[in-house]
Amino acid sequence: MPADGNNQPSTSKPSFFGRVLSVLIKATVLLVLLFVFDKLLPNMSQQTQSFVVTKWQQLSLLQQAPPTQNSLPSPLPNQHLTDTWGAARSQGRSHEGIDIFAPRNTPIQATTQGIVKKVGENTLGGRIVVVAGPGGAGHYYAHLEDYADIAPNDWVNKGDIIGYVGDSGNAKGTPPHVHYGIYINGSAVNPYPLLQKK
């Protein structure tokens, strides 16, 4: 008994203290990390914070599947949809999207959640908005009369207003409409089958 009693503590004591020590070290490291984050986060510049948030949002969008058949609400939910994909356009181009007609200034709704990539102008599209959505798909809205209050890197949810129907760009003088295009892996795909029909 005395031998056992002597033996036991001599072998179990160091491992017990060893375990206590390792728990203490882990707790200390955790406390130090918490302290560092607590001091660091408020001091992180707005730019760094939004960069981190945007990267996180991009990653989560890439995890999601790109649009599938009948999965997207229309950017103009109350307007009739016609499949105008592939119709002939000037200079031998073919129509890489669909046109949805509506009275001037009708609000245009984002068809997916995503990150605003572009709010600006180009020759053909006039005033345009590009949103990067689930699966990295690009959503292109063109011929806007005006933009909503959005800027590049903003997050939008499905249904958020991104702009207003117009006839800017090469649509000047035609009945106001939104040109809606979807780009998957950089190639234009026909939005019509992907949009929900009523």
Give contact residues for Zn ion (rule: CB under 5 A): 99, 179
Question: Token pair of 41, please?
Answer: 């986060």
What residue is closest to Zn ion based on CB? 179
Nearer to Zn ion, 139 or 179 (CB): 179
CB of 106 to Zn ion, least distance (A): 16
Taking the least distance from each CB to Zn ion, the nearer of 125 and 134 is 125
- For residues 134 and 181, which CB has a smaller minimum distance to Zn ion in the complex? 181
Q: Which amino acid is at 171?
A: A
Of the two residues 61 and 178, which places its CB atom closer to Zn ion in the complex? 178
Vertex 144, ends 93 and 195: CA angle to 5°?
70
The minimum distance between CB 96 and Zn ion, in angstroms, equals: 8
CA atoms within 13 A on the CB side of 105: 0
Burial of 143 (0-12, 13-18, 19+ CB in 10 A): buried
Name residue, tokens 């730019």.
47
What is the DSSP-derived secondary structure letter of residue 90?
G
Q: How far is the CB of 196 from Zn ion (least distance, A)?
A: 20
Task: Report, in Å, the least distance between residue 35 CB and Zn ion.
Answer: 56
